[in-house]
Amino acid sequence: MSFTDFSFLVFIAAIAILCRLCPRQSRSLLLLGASYLFYLTWSARGAVLLAVVTGLTFAAGMGIERARKSQTHAWLTPLAIILLAGYLLAFKIALLGPSRGIAGLVMPLGISYTTFKLISYVLDVHWGKMDASMRLADFAAYVAFFPQILAGPIQRPGDYFSQLPPVPARTADALPRIAWGLVKKLLIADNLAPAVNYVYAHLTALHGAPLWVGFYLFPLQMYADFSGLTDIAIGTGRLFGITGPENFNRPFTATSIGDFWRRWHMSLTNWLADYVFMPLRMATRTAGNLGLAFSISVNMIAIGLWHGLTWSYLAFGVVHSLYLTVDAFTSRARAKFFKRRRKWDSAASWMGWLLTFHLVTIGLVFFRAAHISDALWLLGHLFSGLGASGALFWALVESAGARTLAIGLAGYAVLELGERYRPDLWLGRISQGQRGVRWSVWGGVTVLLIFALALLLAHSGTPRSPFLYEIY
């Protein structure tokens, strides 16, 4: 069951109704049951494995808390971390083999997300940021919480447990977010996907114009797809009274690489900042800039390899560690430079935005390409035979479908405008006004929701691209 299946909407509607009907104290149990039911539609073996790992971590958490209070068994935390990291690593390595090893037999869904949740739980209990959970049902529901299992966001245990027992948000606060996520995925990402897939499938036969199309479109597709998935996850979570953390904040308006990472996949970035970067930075603070560069590099390479143990993801991490290191080392000098030349300020923010977008896009070429050589081919042939690549460009447009591409691009423009002007906020303000205005707003929103649902149904017979982040 994927988030864009009609059956998923029926499923969440049923759980939302049950959630409102059952006593508050039993809602965690309901969410646990629903999560495992969802998980079973993907993999029964994966569900069993998840239950085992959850049970062991729950026991470890209680042991760690006792050890913290009695200052004994200090080895328990490192052991738990090593085992959890090993568990994640084992599956990531198994995926590299031609037969996919154990991953071919039992690949736990969203393993990267659930493992990071478990690790943060162990560390937070160890550091005394929170007490170990005493209710296995609450803990297991947190780990397996199905709206977040496919692709996050990675919610911290403290944040999740503070919302228990869950009190469902108003349906009107949750549904528009889900609808917006579906629009991003079905209307934008899926319409940009054919052009991107075409370019990356025929890389070495292309040069010039079509490569530019692939170069610029993949970041847009990626953002629409991934943030759409996150919107559905957050909206669905709200239906059950669990608000997940935001994962994106208009990342392509960032004016520096540091700014970009504060806006892109924020739950992963913050997780790594808290559990990898900060401890490393503390440990290397005496080493000055070298320590900073080291901490940044380890952090960014970890982000890259979190997606998979491939050279392309490693290259993605290395490229971004270089960007961030240069950004960090030059930030003071740049600030001083622009302080003295105030007139350049507005130009600098424009230039910063343009440069950041292109640097990010270059990084994402490595992320999307199957091999580093493919990424280098794309980047190396952007200008070659540019004038003579018209026929190749039109072949790409014909293959992807001009209308499909136009819908994807127009949809992306709507996405940027929508997130810039936040109609959800002003709709909220308007709906507090007079009754006629309120009814009008809700009438329009209801029509839009019915439309979104019908559109989803109408397209349910046609094959769809899977979410890009479902594989992690």
Partner 1 sequence: MRFIRDLTLAALASLAVILALEAGLRLARDRYEASFYQPDWERGYALRPNAEGWDVMESEVYIRVNSGGLRDRERIVPRPRQTLRVAALGSSEAAAFEVPLEETFEAEIERNLAPLIARRGNHVEVLNFGVPGYSLSQQYLTLKNYVWKYDPQIVVLVWNQYNLLRNTEETNPDGPQAPFYVLRDGRLAPADPAFRMPSLRTFSQRNIAIRGRLADWMNDSYLLSMLRKANVELQNQINGLSATLRRHFGPAPTAPSRRPRDYLQWWPYLPDLPDMQENWKIGEAFLREMKQDCDRHGAELELVIVDEDMQSHPNAAVRKAFMRLKGLASLDASDERLEQISEANGIPVLALAPLLGEYASAHGVALHGIGANNEGHWNKLGNQLAGQMIAGQLRVHSPTVQAWSAGSR
Question: Does 420 sit near partner 1 (CB under 8 A)?
Answer: no
Q: Which is nearer to partner 1, 344 or 451 (CB)?
A: 451
Judge contact between 122 and 77, C-beta under 8 A.
Answer: yes
CA 417/CA 220 separation, integer angstroms: 14
Comparing CA positions, the residue from 153, 145, 223 lying closest to residue 185 is 223
Candidate ranges 83-91, 261-269, 310-318, 430-438; the one touching partner 1 (CB under 8 A): 430-438
Residues 6+ apart with CB under 8 A from 356: 254, 255, 256, 257, 259, 260
Binding mask 389-418 for partner 1 (x = CB under 8 A): --------------x--xx--x--------
CA 171/CA 442 separation, integer angstroms: 12
Q: Which is nearer to partner 1, 51 or 407 (CB)?
A: 407
CA 303/CA 380 separation, integer angstroms: 25
Q: Which is nearer to partner 1, 100 or 438 (CB)?
A: 438
Would you state the structure tokens that stand for residue 410, as one six-digit string?
Answer: 């127009």
Q: Which is nearer to partner 1, 403 or 429 (CB)?
A: 403
**Number of neighbours of residue 454 by Cβ within 10 angstroms:** 10
Judge contact between 114 and 35, C-beta under 8 A.
Answer: no
| Shortest distance, position 435 Cβ to partner 1, whole Å | 5
| Shortest distance, position 166 Cβ to partner 1, whole Å | 28
Q: Which is nearer to partner 1, 11 or 113 (CB)?
A: 11
For residues 433-452, which are near partner 1 according to CB under 8 A? 435-437, 439-444, 446-448, 451
Angle among Cα 301, 116, 135 to the nearest 5 degrees reads 170
Q: Out of 334, 384, 460, 466, which residue is the one contacting partner 1 (CB under 8 A)?
A: 460
Would you state the structure tokens that stand for residue 336, as one six-digit string?
Answer: 């001083």
| Shortest distance, position 180 Cβ to partner 1, whole Å | 16
Q: Which is nearer to partner 1, 386 or 449 (CB)?
A: 449
For residues 151-190, which are near partner 1 according to CB under 8 A? none
Q: Out of 163, 455, 464, 470, which residue is the one contacting partner 1 (CB under 8 A)?
A: 455
| Shortest distance, position 8 Cβ to partner 1, whole Å | 11
For residues 6-35, which are near partner 1 according to CB under 8 A? 6-7, 10
Would you state the structure tokens that stand for residue 278, as one six-digit string?
Answer: 């900060």
Chain position carrying tokens 């939302």: 16
| Shortest distance, position 37 Cβ to partner 1, whole Å | 14
Candidate ranges 2-10, 225-233, 311-319, 335-343; the one touching partner 1 (CB under 8 A): 2-10
For residues 217-246, which are near partner 1 according to CB under 8 A? none
> What number of chain residues touch partner 1 (CB under 8 A)?
27
Q: Which is nearer to partner 1, 351 or 457 (CB)?
A: 457
Question: Does 40 sit near partner 1 (CB under 8 A)?
Answer: no
CA 176/CA 285 separation, integer angstroms: 46
Q: Which is nearer to partner 1, 98 or 436 (CB)?
A: 436
Question: Does 453 sit near partner 1 (CB under 8 A)?
Answer: yes
Q: Which is nearer to partner 1, 267 or 465 (CB)?
A: 465
Q: Which is nearer to partner 1, 6 or 212 (CB)?
A: 6
Interacting residues with partner 1 (CB under 8 A): 6-7, 10, 403, 406-407, 410, 435-437, 439-444, 446-448, 451, 453-455, 457-458, 460-461
